[in-house]
Structure 1
Amino acid sequence: MDGTARRVAAFDFDGTVSRRDTLIPFVARFAGVPRSAVGSLMAGWDGLRGGGRGLRDRDALKARMVRRLLSGRDARELERAAGVYAARLIDSGLRPEMVEEVRRHVAAGHRTLFVSASLEDYLLPIARYLGMSGVIAVELERRDGRLTGRLAAPNVRAEQKAVRLREHLGAPSSGPLEGIELWAYGNSSGDHALLEMADHALWLGAPEKRPPGVEQYGPTTAFGTSSSGR
């Protein structure tokens, strides 16, 4: 890749930059779901990890959860709650080594993005805190100051991660990313499409689940090391 290429770093969030999944705890807390029920929601969510039908079921579960728990809620209240939640994640919910990885890309002048199936509302404050360029994430539909209970666009997961990133970069819908050098970070099957399009693909999930052609993230593959593409 020559020196004129645009350099972009795309990070999944849940389990990649954050220590654990963040969506259900936020939605449940905001909607007043009893703490005893949150564990059951998380168990059902985690049970749908995997490819194929599991991904479709996970998308359907998210849509149902948003509809049932958020429909009709005041949008400003959600935004305030998202700001509080973001501050809590910044304080103790992020992986320190990945905070540093993000900051190394930012310091190098790369366009640095979250590409995540989590909510834009709490990812935006975290991205600003880290000095990132932007967020591609789940947007909740709003009407007359209230949440409709629907997503404003398809869930940012699996192939949609690649689709939305290409749109964001103004790149063709298929084929190589001409003039762009891309680093991508993920930890689950929902990140495979994002990782496949990257020049430098880094895996933060279990080593035995690492896709072919993707490097395990660690001290020797972190950005700025000899094997990281810089």
Structure 2
Amino acid sequence: MIENGRQVVAAFDFDVTITTRDTFLPFLTTAFGGNAVAMKLFCLAPEAAKVALGLSNRDHFKERLVRSLFMGQSVERLRGVGREHAAEILRWVRPAARERIDWHKGRGDRLVMVSASLDLYLEPTAAALGFDDLLCTSPSANHLVFDGGLAGKNCRGPEKVSRLRNLLGNLADFEIYAYGDSAGDRELLEKADHAYFRVFEPNLSQSR
């Protein structure tokens, strides 16, 4: 749709904005087992403490967690787990969020999912929900196995705006609707012409 002489783009965060819960840790538990994930988190407790004290950040913590779990893992296996997880995730979608997605789709707006979650399960999820583009975090692979790194940065905070700009070009050329629920969406919301924070959560709806 054209609005104010510009194409409309609707950018949605995913975890807790569209869904009722986090999707990252449940995927890790399904893929690697609860005991293995708990052990890795226990080993990374000192890093988590640094994050809490402001001496490190969530991006660095996530990179270390991904490295410890994904190194040497089969790409084919984890993509299969991702597809199964996506089917489960679709049951966690907030009805109000789905209605808003469908509203934008019905108007002909360009739908972009912008999330720090992983492409392994977001690709099938975004396709099922009717999104046109997906910008998210991707574990990096060497041939048929993951190498423990990330392909680019964790898609959170300023990186969300950077990814959207790389996709669209000059953001001022678009009428942007943005939906988010956390501090990791702040920069994205600040760039939007229509910014909605926790708008789909019962009793917490507000826009700015």
- TM-score bracket for this pair, using the shorter chain length: 0.7 to 0.9
Residues 185-204 of structure 1: pairs in structure 2 closer than 5 A: 185-204=179-198
Q: Kindly indicate whether residue 17 of structure 2 is the aligned counterpart of residue 16 of structure 1.
A: yes
In 1, Cα distance between the equivalents of 2:141 and 2:161? 25
Match of 2:206 in 1: 216
Contact 1:127 1:135 in 2 (8 A): yes
In 2, Cα distance between the equivalents of 1:2 and 1:13? 24
Cα 1:57–1:2 change in 2 (3 A) is closer
Contact 1:31 1:70 in 2 (8 A): no
Contact 2:75 2:145 in 1 (8 A): yes
SS at match of 1:77: helix
In 2, Cα distance between the equivalents of 1:6 and 1:51? 41
Q: CA deviation at 1:35?
A: 8.4
In 2, Cα distance between the equivalents of 1:81 and 1:216? 35
Match of 2:173 in 1: 179
Match of 1:27 in 2: 28
SS at match of 1:62: helix
Q: CA deviation at 1:121?
A: 1.6
Residues 35-114 of structure 1: pairs in structure 2 closer than 5 A: 37=38, 53=54, 56-90=56-90, 92-114=91-113
Return the TM-score normalized by structure 1: 0.78
Return the TM-score normalized by structure 2: 0.86
In 1, Cα distance between the equivalents of 2:129 and 2:68? 33
In 1, Cα distance between the equivalents of 2:84 and 2:200? 31
In 2, Cα distance between the equivalents of 1:113 and 1:206? 17
| More displaced 10-residue stretch of structure 1: 141-150 or 20-29 | 20-29
Runs of 4+ in 1 over 4 A off after TM superposition: none
Q: CA deviation at 1:61?
A: 1.3
**Which letter does structure 1 place at the counterpart of 2:93?**
L
**Which letter does structure 1 place at the counterpart of 2:157?**
A
Cα RMSD after superposing both structures: 2.9
- 1:76-106 residue CA offsets vs partner (Å, 9 max, x unmatched): 101000000000111x211111011111111
SS at match of 2:73: coil
In 1, Cα distance between the equivalents of 2:80 and 2:14? 20
Identity %: 35
Residues 124-203 of structure 1: pairs in structure 2 closer than 5 A: 124-171=123-170, 177-203=171-197
Q: CA deviation at 1:53?
A: 3.6
SS at match of 1:86: helix
Which blocks of at least 5 consecutive residues in structure 2 are unaligned?
Answer: none
| More displaced 10-residue stretch of structure 1: 192-201 or 114-123 | 114-123
Cα 1:148–1:205 change in 2 (3 A) is farther
Cα 1:108–1:53 change in 2 (3 A) is farther
| More displaced 10-residue stretch of structure 1: 127-136 or 75-84 | 127-136
In 2, Cα distance between the equivalents of 1:36 and 1:82? 16
**Which letter does structure 2 place at the counterpart of 1:62?**
K
In 1, Cα distance between the equivalents of 2:195 and 2:26? 29
